[in-house]
Amino acid sequence: MQAEARGCYDTRAMLIKELLAQRLTTAFTTAQAQGLLPPGDLPEGVIERPQDTKHGDFASTLPMKAAKTLRSNPMKIAQTLQQLVEKGHEIQKVDVAPPGFINITLSTAWLQQQVEAVRHEGERFGHVTSGAGHKVQVEFVSVNPTGPVHVGHARGAVLGSTLATVMQAAGYNVTREYYVNDAGNQMELFYRSLWARYQQALGKQAEIPENGYRGQYMVELGQRVVQEHGDRFLKMPEAKAIAAIGAVGLDHMITAIKADLEMIGVTFDNWFREKSLFQDSTYATAMKMLEERGYVVRRDGALWFESTKLGEDKDNVLVRSNGLPTYFASDAAYHYNKFMLRGYERVIDIWGADHAGHVSRLKAVVEALGADPSRLTVLLGQMVALKRGGEVVRASKRTGEIVTLRELAEEVGKDAVRFFFLARSPEAQIEFDLELAKQQSQENPVYYLQYAHARIAGILRHAEERHIEYRDGDVAQLKVDEELALIRKLLELPELVESIAKSLEPHRLPHYTMDLAATFHRFYDTCQVIPKEYSPEHDGALTKARLKLVDASRIGLAQCLTLMGMAAPERM
RNA sequence: GCGCUUGUAGCUCAACGGAUAGAGCGCAGCCCUGCGAAGGCUGAGGCUUUGGGUUCGAAUCCCAACAAGCGCACCA
């Protein structure tokens, strides 16, 4: 394995981080075998990236972690390992720093060679194989189709779509799914509200039901149905009319939601209908299974899921005494479908924090259905408080006072919306000031990233115009700090992709991209790529090498922007 | 009242239990007769809400207080 890795420049085969971890592990066991270190287990977390690059490319805190179990001095352990780590051609030096750090610096020659490796990988650079084709579902947004998508939903949309993309890059087999809640009494209310608006559009007297949907969009929807269908629903018996008009309204809502989400680059592989759970035997089978496993009891005329048997605070109603199933029952059946029928090895649900209280009971029901609840992860996006010029804007579908995603996308732009929500960890409760967002879109981090990409494109264009062919450039010319720093920064991308897929923290991607862009800008500032008085004899070697580095940077930056669903412009 | 999440620069936010806590915006200076100045460099700005604890080491883990958000239905 090690010999194989040594001769390999392809980062896809093995990350340098993993290679170094192996070397350290081998050094550790060798030291014990030779009696240089006392016996004892290898601690977790062998290798990491130091915060400060002056400490080298990689650092290990292994000596300090092992000191206790080995009953040995951390500095002594560090020094022992320092001697035993196989350097190969990748490692330039291994240092020891108090109180027991091992610092590893990569060799310049190896770093230079990575420029070729990145260019060789091209569009695939940054992709890794840690996901091993495992079947994963990411379910997100899933807004009730009773109204348009609003600003608060944008967060989950961006989080979910980026996570799905990154997991795909990490080698998972990912399905993006939207759960359409087209059953239940909220939908019933929506249908009846639309029925009323439809009648009003035809000049008839009609009342919006209590707690119905009163937004302006419902008025428009009613008018639209009149345009498309005339008064034909009036001729039906009311119950039938409501059902028929409801189906039409639902269709329009889903189409609108789909279009709005596409405005910020969010798409799905599957739109799963709640109703389908009842149309086939999924719901019945799931309920039967819960019953057979002894988790269902009848009490006060309702059917209860005995979550308390699984350590929950209280039981939950599956079927109300009026015979109608609760949302929770649908959810149980839906997850039965995800795990049992479709066989996802792992399911990630992205919800708003207002649903936090439902996580544990859903996990309980998944367990009751016989799936390991650790296969289900629920990510909660904390609430987004919406402001306009410092004033809080209340978002409510029923009162109709909403700022829609569409408005936001039109005002602020897709890339800025994505970046803004993506850069914050899901747990952060954020305030979104529309005025500020618009204003800042002039002086936005988004432009910082895209400018770097456009700048790169400009240089490459320039090289082409001057007919500078750099295929034969020699990367060994790259020796300046700013050049090597840029290579080092690029090499972090595959590690980051692997790490994000594991920790489910896509917010680290925008921060890395900012870093990469800054590192490029610094390189640009100190290292001129194509001199004004360019002469092939005099400048050729360095210019060609730097063009290769610029090209590798383009690949890395474009990959980041692509993973985030943002544009990578050639010009601005 | 109980539970979950969160308190980090003036503002918006980062920081696998590791070395001097970092970015962007804002603020004060400096840098284009050289590839895109939507850029670079320098500086000011922090008792990581407070008080205890755990350990070689804590913004990070545990306990308590204070503050904010969200839950606590036969709604979704």
A570 touches strand B (CB under 7 A): yes
A67 touches strand B (CB under 7 A): yes
Determine the distance between A442 (CA) and B38 (C1') in angstroms.
9
Residue A385 lies in a domain: no
Determine the distance between A496 (CA) and B10 (C1') in angstroms.
32
Closest nucleotide to A459 by C1' from CA: B35
Determine the distance between A70 (CA) and B21 (C1') in angstroms.
31
Closest nucleotide to A461 by C1' from CA: B35
A529 touches strand B (CB under 7 A): yes
Which residue carries 């996990």 as its tokens? A363
pLDDT of residue A30: 94
Predicted confidence pLDDT, tens digits, chain A (572 residues): 333 333 334 444 689 999 999 999 999 999 999 999 998 888 888 899 998 888 999 999 999 999 888 888 999 999 999 999 999 999 999 999 989 999 999 999 999 999 999 999 999 999 999 999 999 999 999 999 998 888 888 899 999 999 999 999 999 999 999 999 998 888 999 999 999 999 999 999 999 998 888 888 999 999 999 999 999 999 999 999 999 999 999 999 999 999 999 999 999 999 999 999 999 999 999 999 999 999 999 999 999 999 999 988 889 999 999 999 999 999 999 999 999 999 999 999 999 888 988 999 999 999 999 999 999 999 998 878 777 665 666 555 444 455 788 888 888 889 988 998 898 888 887 777 776 666 655 457 888 899 999 999 999 999 999 999 999 999 999 999 999 999 999 999 999 999 999 999 999 999 999 999 999 999 999 999 999 888 777 778 999 999 999 999 999 999 999 999 999 999 98
pLDDT of residue A27: 95
Residue A525 lies in a domain: yes
Q: Which residues contact A141 (CB under 8 A, 6 or more apart)?
A: A149, A153, A156, A157, A160, A178, A261, A266, A350
How, if at all, do strands A302-305 and A270-273 pair? unpaired
**Residue at which a domain ends, from A79, A106, A133:** A106
Closest nucleotide to A428 by C1' from CA: B6
Helix (H) or strand (E) holding A377: strand A376-381
Determine the distance between A327 (CA) and B63 (C1') in angstroms.
38
C-alpha–C-alpha distance, residues A121 and A116, integer Å: 9
pLDDT of residue A534: 82
A464 touches strand B (CB under 7 A): no
Determine the distance between A428 (CA) and B48 (C1') in angstroms.
16
Residue A140 DSSP class: -
**Residue at which a domain ends, from A70, A91, A106:** A106
Determine the distance between A501 (CA) and B11 (C1') in angstroms.
31
Closest nucleotide to A331 by C1' from CA: B76
**Residue at which a domain ends, from A46, A73, A106:** A106
Which residue carries 């798409």 as its tokens? A267
- Radius of gyration of chain A measured on its C-alpha atoms: 29
Residue A150 lies in a domain: no
A34 touches strand B (CB under 7 A): no
Determine the distance between A440 (CA) and B37 (C1') in angstroms.
19
Q: Contact at 8 Å (CB) between A310 and A364? A: yes
The domain tally of chain A equals 2
- Strand B neighbours among A 401-440, CB < 7 A: 423-425, 427-431, 440
Residue A509 lies in a domain: yes
Helix (H) or strand (E) holding A54: none
**Which residues share a beta bridge with A94?**
A104
C-alpha–C-alpha distance, residues A350 and A379, integer Å: 5
| A294 residue type, one letter | G
Which residue carries 């709005």 as its tokens? A260
The 10 Å Cβ neighbour count of residue A126 is 27
| A181 residue type, one letter | N
Determine the distance between A55 (CA) and B52 (C1') in angstroms.
35
3 state SS for A312-361: CCCCEEEECCCCCECHHHHHHHHHHHHHHHCCCCEEEEEEEHHHHHHHHH
C-alpha–C-alpha distance, residues A206 and A303, integer Å: 37
C-alpha–C-alpha distance, residues A514 and A528, integer Å: 22
Is A138 strand, coil or helix?
strand
Reading the block at residue A165, the tokens are 């993309």
The phi, psi pair for A307, rounded to 5°, reads -65, -25
C-alpha–C-alpha distance, residues A559 and A337, integer Å: 34
Half-sphere exposure of A228 (CA within 13 A, CB side): 11
The phi, psi pair for A294, rounded to 5°, reads 80, 30
Q: Which residues contact A191 (CB under 8 A, 6 or more apart)?
A: A242, A243, A245, A246, A249
Q: Contact at 8 Å (CB) between A25 and A132? A: no
C-alpha–C-alpha distance, residues A156 and A421, integer Å: 9
Q: Enumerate the nucleotides of strand B whose atoms come under 7 Å of any protein CB.
A: 3-6, 12-16, 18-20, 22-26, 34-41, 55-57, 68-76
Residue A435 lies in a domain: no
A302 touches strand B (CB under 7 A): yes
Write the CATH number for A557.
1.10.730.10
A537 touches strand B (CB under 7 A): no
Closest nucleotide to A274 by C1' from CA: B76
DSSP string, A501-518: HHHT-TTHHHHHHHHHHH
Closest nucleotide to A65 by C1' from CA: B56
Determine the distance between A375 (CA) and B12 (C1') in angstroms.
34
C-alpha–C-alpha distance, residues A517 and A526, integer Å: 14
Which residue carries 């609840």 as its tokens? A373
Residue A67 lies in a domain: yes
Closest nucleotide to A423 by C1' from CA: B13
The 10 Å Cβ neighbour count of residue A4 is 9
A466 touches strand B (CB under 7 A): no
A382 touches strand B (CB under 7 A): yes
Q: Contact at 8 Å (CB) between A261 and A565? A: no
A185 touches strand B (CB under 7 A): yes
Q: Contact at 8 Å (CB) between A18 and A2? A: no
Q: Contact at 8 Å (CB) between A187 and A146? A: yes
- Strand B neighbours among A 319-378, CB < 7 A: 320-322, 324, 326-328, 353-358
Give me the interface pTM, i.e. the ipTM.
0.94
Reading the block at residue A383, the tokens are 């609430």
Separation of CA A360 from chain center: 23
Write the CATH number for A60.
3.30.1360.70
| A301 residue type, one letter | G
Closest nucleotide to A56 by C1' from CA: B19
Residue A115 lies in a domain: no
Closest nucleotide to A530 by C1' from CA: B35
Q: CA torsion, points A465, A468, A470, A473, in degrees to nearest 10?
A: -150
10 Å CB burial of residue A252 (0-12, 13-18, 19+) is middle
Q: Contact at 8 Å (CB) between A125 and A493? A: yes
Strand order of the sheet with strand A391-392?
Answer: A391-392, A384-388, A430-433
- Strand B neighbours among A 218-257, CB < 7 A: none
Helix (H) or strand (E) holding A102: strand A101-106
Q: Which residues of A195-229 are buried (b: 16+ CB within 10 A; e: fewer)?
A: bbbbbbbbeeebebbeebbbbebbeebbebbbeee
C-alpha–C-alpha distance, residues A8 and A70, integer Å: 35
* ω into A99 cis (within 30 of 0): yes
pLDDT of residue A403: 75
Residue A550 lies in a domain: yes
Determine the distance between A528 (CA) and B30 (C1') in angstroms.
21
A481 touches strand B (CB under 7 A): no
Angle between helices A481-503 and A536-563 in degrees, nearest 10: 20
For A104: left if phi > 0, alpha if psi spans -120 to 50, otherwise beta; the answer is: beta
How, if at all, do strands A384-388 and A430-433 pair? parallel
Q: Which domain covers residue A470, as residue numbers?
A: 445-563
